[in-house]
Chain A
């Protein structure tokens, strides 16, 4: 078996699975094309992560990462939680196979997106919820581009033609 014992433990008995009603922040990364998709929901109280839940479509590593990152973030202040990185999650899991470090190790990205979502909404920056699609990105010299690898995309590309990661949903008025 290629996975550490800790990974298998979290995979078999993942913590914090589920959804939160009326979450304060939602972060979603990945898509089924790459084989991994994570959605993290948070409830914030006194600038602390009061509750956190996840839903994941993915391999053993992706599920273990989701379980671990939600464990690590629970009860932390937003500032502390923002310090959690994909690398530190992998370390806490006793390491991940090399080929899983990129595709499946997206837990901290999802967490940070969820926190950013909370901050944006609190500060009144009106924005659709991430699970309803993000705003159209046209800042790249008026071209669409991949948010992961910066490569210019045709307008209609559902995922990056270079790295295969999802481009955000294009949304026109």
Chain B
């Protein structure tokens, strides 16, 4: 049975060209970029090539890119690093209600240390109002951290507008662009951001490697101390195989982006059209300001985990944020923040498509999905109650 993979937001497969570059690197180089011999020089060269490729993806300069162990580390670095560097200026941070846990938990830690955090609400589409950001700013505010695209509902936030506000007020602005960087265009200057977190496994690079963009003169300290790697911003010998993979993946993503987006949009729209033929299903997120490859929908009267299990039985991989499927046993904070009710949040699935997916795959997935919904609804006491 061929696996149909619709969970690219959890991690993409590695692109064949990226694999080649990584294997080639493993076969030919094991030098440490700081070493002053030929193998060290070769490693250093590979590192800087990857840095150029990664910088180009978001219209940054190579020296502004710090490689990390992934999106989570980038976010921790941005938030905690700024807090440590600016604690004499103030202890107020602005964020939104729909951030990833890497953001909200980093902030929770700072709150224990005396920081105040303003968490902004979102509308029914999951959009933050830039005016709310402006209103929330105080003399104590040192950082605004709001995600670029939401990883659960796909809504794209008005980052450029928020960037204008933070620039005018001289406040550092971090955006978590993990779900979007490498998928849709991102320009650090047009967005007016100072810090950007990204991860390679969202654009067909390997997992365990990411990057943090740092605008020059941004007040930030490293959170991992040691040697002078990464311009003093991230100590420790680089994950070279991962980094060369990320560089290649970034290059491919930049070059192929228009075609990729077109293909992904088609897949997404086709899936939405198919899903809409079933009664009592709602599409979540913004209708136009959204990621091209992700769709979240709530299937009423059934629970998400049981749907995922049924799909998985037939080789279809998707994801849910229902309480039952999460470690915390709470319904998705993102869906609740958009005003989705508890029961509907429990029946929410996330399909995220990739460049290797085809229209034929959607046909097969739809057959299985329909059967699963009918099977589970027939068993549900909520469904019967509605129909009688």
Which A residues contact B (CB, under 8 angstroms)?
3, 8, 11-12, 14, 17, 19, 28, 32-39, 55-63, 99-100, 103-104
Contacts and interface: CB of A to CB of B under 8 A. Distances in A.
Nearest to A104: B324
A44 to B, nearest CB: 21
Contacts of B325: 59
A5 B320 CA distance: 22
Contacts of A59: 303-306, 322, 324-325
A103 B322 CA distance: 13
B178 interface: no
Contacts, number: 72
Best-buried of B324, B329, B380, B382 by chain A (most CB within 10 Å)? B324
B381 interface: yes
B342 A37 contact: no
A56 B378 contact: no
B381 A33 contact: no
A12 B381 contact: no
Best-buried of A12, A59, A100 by chain B (most CB within 10 Å)? A59
10 contacts: A34-B323, A35-B322, A36-B324, A55-B379, A57-B380, A57-B381, A58-B303, A59-B322, A60-B305, A99-B329
B379 A35 contact: no
A1 to B, nearest CB: 8
A93 to B, nearest CB: 15
B327 A35 contact: no
Task: State the 9 A-B residue pairs at the shortest beta-carbon distance, nearest first.
Answer: A32-B343, A59-B324, A59-B305, A55-B381, A35-B323, A33-B342, A39-B381, A57-B380, A35-B324
A58 B378 contact: no
A30 to B, nearest CB: 10
Given A32-B343, A39-B381, A99 B327 contact: yes
Contacts of B213: none
Contacts of B304: 59
Given A33-B342, A35-B322, A35-B323, A55 B380 contact: yes
Interface residues on B, range: 20 to 34
Given A35-B346, A36-B303, A56 B379 contact: yes
Given A19-B384, A59-B322, 12 more contacts: A11-B306, A33-B331, A35-B322, A37-B382, A55-B380, A57-B302, A57-B382, A59-B324, A60-B305, A60-B309, A62-B324, A99-B329
B360 interface: no
B173 interface: no
Contacts of A28: 381
Nearest to A39: B381
B303 A57 contact: yes
B302 A11 contact: no
B313 interface: yes
Contacts of A14: 379
A130 to B, nearest CB: 12
Contacts of B378: 17
Interface string B309-349: 10001000000001111010101000000000011001000
Nearest to A19: B384
A104 B306 CA distance: 12
Contacts of A103: 323-324, 329
Nearest to A164: B330
Contacts of B6: none
Interface in B167-195: none
Contacts of B380: 55-57
A32 B346 CA distance: 8
